[in-house]
Amino acid sequence: MTIDPQTLISLYQFKQHPDVCLWFENGIPKSRFQLFEGEKYRIYFPVHSSASYLPLICAHSDTITPTSPESIFRDGMIMTCLTPSNDRGPVLGGDDRNGVYIMHRLAIEQPDNFIFGIFDEEESGSLGVQTAFEVIRGLLPRISCFVGLDRRGNNDLACYSSRDFIRRPLNTPAFIDLLERNTGYFRAVGASSDVSRLAAEFRLSCTNFSVGYHNEHHNCEYTVVSEVEHTLNILRTKLPPQLWSARFPF
């Protein structure tokens, strides 16, 4: 099934955490999840999963500008919001609505395969995810790794380094090798994201998948819808089974 760009455009109108969460929840099988909720996070744990372990997959609900784009223009599979040449104007918000969209589809199609997390205030220094640390600590024995859906481009597996050990990776080489082999995406260097905070806190490997937005944080941000769809398809069909049978501590 291909993505209807109008569906993505409808999600781009929402920038506030509760609104984005409501959009995510619309149509997902809520009875299959236990919801853990705080002011700045929602975590959906699949209570019927029989897997030994589960990837915690996450996206963020905030955007660098809190206002919605006035108009979104589409040329085929490319979408952007044109604003006056003013860097403080509203941005499209594919960062990180594209991640929320992909999670929404996975939650409908594969509700038992992931722990889903939506975190607010990533752009303010991952403040939302930090308020969820105690909940995640309680779920940790079931978590295999942390997977972010918050990376620009179309084929990156963003990797991070710990702040307390210079250049110490926040994953094991075997974890990234496994993902490169199975997904066809490639390791890249990331600065910071919610998954890097999670990995540093819990010493469990993370990576961050490209979700099809480009020029994030600028009014010339654009999304390539076919790239959003490609990552959705990779996550549906190409993740290695080891993510459900092993853990990846470092």
Residues in contact with Zn ion by the rule CB under 5 A: 95-96, 150
Q: What does residue 194 show for φ and ψ, rounded to 5 degrees?
A: -60, -40
Tokens of 248: 């990846």
Nearest distance from C-beta of residue 173 to Zn ion, angstroms: 25
Nearer to Zn ion, 55 or 94 (CB): 94
Nearest distance from C-beta of residue 48 to Zn ion, angstroms: 30
Element containing residue 73 per DSSP (H, E): strand 73-75
Query: What is the residue type of 204?
Result: L
Nearest distance from C-beta of residue 220 to Zn ion, angstroms: 16
Nearest distance from C-beta of residue 2 to Zn ion, angstroms: 24
Contact 36, 134 (CB under 8 A): no
Cα(202)–Cα(63) distance, rounded to whole angstroms?
A: 26
Nearest distance from C-beta of residue 148 to Zn ion, angstroms: 9
Query: What is the residue type of 84?
Result: P
Radius of gyration of the chain (CA): 17
Tokens of 62: 């905030």
Nearest distance from C-beta of residue 96 to Zn ion, angstroms: 4
Contact 64, 92 (CB under 8 A): no
Nearer to Zn ion, 36 or 119 (CB): 119
18 phi-psi bin (left φ>0, alpha ψ -120 to 50, beta other): alpha
Nearest distance from C-beta of residue 151 to Zn ion, angstroms: 8
Cα(193)–Cα(141) distance, rounded to whole angstroms?
A: 22
Tokens of 184: 């066809």
Cα(43)–Cα(107) distance, rounded to whole angstroms?
A: 12
Nearer to Zn ion, 221 or 229 (CB): 221
Nearer to Zn ion, 61 or 183 (CB): 61
Nearer to Zn ion, 33 or 121 (CB): 121
Nearer to Zn ion, 137 or 218 (CB): 218
Nearer to Zn ion, 41 or 45 (CB): 41
State the Cα angle at 122 between 117 and 126, rounded to 5°: 90
